[in-house]
Amino acid sequence: MNLSATRPYKGLILDIDGTLYRSSKRIPGAVEAVAALRAMGCRIVFVTNALEEAAWHARNLSQFGFPAEPEDVISASMTMMRYLHQERPGATVYAISQPGLVAMLAREFRVSEQPDEIDVVIASYDPAFDYHKLTIGFKALRRGAWFVATNADATCPIDEEEMPDAAAVIGALEGCTGRKVEVITGKPSRLMLEAALERLDVRPEECLIVGDRIETDMQMGYDTGIATLLVLTGVTHRAMLDTAARQPDFVLESISELPAWIATQPRQTQ
């Protein structure tokens, strides 16, 4: 029998905003940490509820100093596309969203603004959300269209400020229709985690989720039993952690401490 001792956490599921950088500023030491983790043999997948396509995220990460290929990134819009292909192939869709997701959908699905043609209403982050869009969504949902969302974040960071995120659009549609959103494809959804594990090709017990948000990053681990590590460089401060219903498995001040921390974790025998 070939027994080899390996480090735990061969696969790292890394959040981006608040973990690697905030707005346009890198977290100090994050670039060096990601390089060190890769040098230690950790596989990394970057996971985000931001909607841009993988190629955009990969380019952006690389410009920040975190070399990444499109296949290293999973976003909530990618899991939405995957979900629709699996569960609603051939559907006519309507998205309340940024133009990027609408363009992505239009390449692979029929997109319509006619409520009587719409099979699936997608709620998402949309800074141009208005009564006209709400009315189309309202009418389609009243007719029985499926009600899904890319993510349910209450807020997102834009230029160091918090702005309303997809939860505002979901809330507006729920408020007028009495319906509840049926599927959310972004963090903390299992769809996101499954895509990440597939990409990493490691067993769940060899994985660690690293992020700054309890209700998305940490929750994804709580729901699936994957180890969680919270960093305090983003939206969660220590005082918030003290009142949280559940504590992450591990807490570090910053991802800059992660390589040294992983190096101290007991090796596992396979």
The single residue among 11, 18, 186, 248 that binds Mg ion, judged by CB under 5 A, is 18
The distance of closest approach from Cβ of residue 191 to Mg ion in the complex, given in angstroms and rounded to an integer, is 18
Q: What's the first-to-final CA gap in the chain, in angstroms?
A: 10
The distance of closest approach from Cβ of residue 244 to Mg ion in the complex, given in angstroms and rounded to an integer, is 16
Closest by CA to 93, choosing from 74, 126, 115, 124, is 115
Q: What is the 3-class SS of 136-175, one letter each residue?
A: HHHHHHHCCCEEEECCCCCEEEECCEEEECHHHHHHHHHH
**93 vs 209, which CB is nearer to Mg ion?**
209
**121 vs 227, which CB is nearer to Mg ion?**
227
The single residue among 9, 11, 15, 149 that binds Mg ion, judged by CB under 5 A, is 15
**Dist CA 266 CA 170 (whole Å):** 44
Residues in the interface with Mg ion (CB under 5 A) total 5
Distances in Å between the Cα of 136 and the Cα atoms of 118, 140, 149, 218 are 9, 6, 16, 35
**47 vs 191, which CB is nearer to Mg ion?**
47
**Dist CA 31 CA 55 (whole Å):** 19
The distance of closest approach from Cβ of residue 105 to Mg ion in the complex, given in angstroms and rounded to an integer, is 25
Q: By CB under 5 A, which span of 7-15, 54-62, 66-74, 91-99 interacts with Mg ion?
A: 7-15
Closest by CA to 253, choosing from 226, 228, 234, is 234
The residues, any chain, with a CB within 8 Å of residue 231's CB and separated by 6 or more, are: 18, 19, 27, 210, 211, 212, 251, 252, 253, 254, 255
The single residue among 10, 12, 13, 17 that binds Mg ion, judged by CB under 5 A, is 17
153 lies in the binding site for Mg ion (CB under 5 A): no
**165 vs 206, which CB is nearer to Mg ion?**
165
**141 vs 210, which CB is nearer to Mg ion?**
210
**18 vs 259, which CB is nearer to Mg ion?**
18
* Binding positions for Mg ion, 206-225, rule CB under 5 A: 212
Residues that bind Mg ion (CB under 5 A): 15, 17-18, 212, 234
